[in-house]
Structure 1
Amino acid sequence: MRSQSVLAICAVVTAAALLLSNTRMAEAVTCEPRDLILSCQQVVQSPLSPPSPSGPCCVKLREQKTCFCGYLEKYSAIVKPYLNDPRVTKVASICGVTIPVNC
């Protein structure tokens, strides 16, 4: 009888751990290009040379770096011209983010 109680407790703990890990995964990055554009647009369009990215821009770049290949696939015609802009690559570099060219 006692071994069944221990087994039941282990099952509950395992189920709770699985639920918590799924919750954390659901809190992962939401790939929203509009958020990225709004966070970095002023920096990229600024006449300052070299550009000086703000904290929110760098945070958003780092947060969405796992989204870049999806953006390239889904919005290729819109995104590719920006990748050729040296200001965009400079901002990403200053923020410590590498923008993939081939995915």
Structure 2
Amino acid sequence: MKMSYVAFCVVLVLLLGETQVSTGITCNPLELSACASAITSASAPSAACCSKLKEQKPCLCQYVKDPNLKKLVNSPNARTVASTCGTPFPQC
């Protein structure tokens, strides 16, 4: 079941494409794929995950507003990963 959930998320992300934010960062939820196992299984996030999460922080509110991503990005595990990485989830 975990694989089908991750596969669903990857397909969903590919369909959503990329968006630019005013800071020049390319908002691409696929960049957070390094965090997928930490979010779905509540395991410790990798250094790559934390790096990408910090890079994509300006995009998190945009992801939460997207009905296709909201459930994953706004999940308790995702918030725990953000906290563990030292990237507090922004107030949206």
The root-mean-square deviation of aligned C-alpha atoms, in Å, is 1.9
Runs of 4+, deviation exceeding 6 Å: none
Name which of 64, 81, 89 aligns with 2:56: 64
Q: Determine whether 1:77 maps to 2:67.
A: yes
Residue range with higher mean Cα deviation, 90-99 or 79-88: 79-88
Q: How far off is 1:52 after superposition?
A: 0.6
5+ long unaligned stretches in structure 1:
1-27
Give the total of aligned pairs: 69
Q: Distance in 2 between matches of 1:42 and 1:58?
A: 13
Give 1 or 2: higher helix fraction.
Answer: 1
TM-score of the two chains, using structure 1 as the length reference:
0.57
TM-score (norm 2): 0.62
Identity of aligned residues (%): 39
Counterpart position of 1:45: 40
Call closer, same or farther: CA 1:60–1:53 in 2, change over 3 Å.
Answer: same
Counterpart-to-counterpart distance in 2, 1:64 and 1:54 = 15
Match of 2:20 in 1: none
Q: Distance in 1 between matches of 2:30 and 2:71?
A: 16
Say which structure is richer in strand.
2
**Which amino acid in the other structure matches residue 52 of structure 1?**
A
Q: Which residue of 1 aligns with 2:18?
A: none
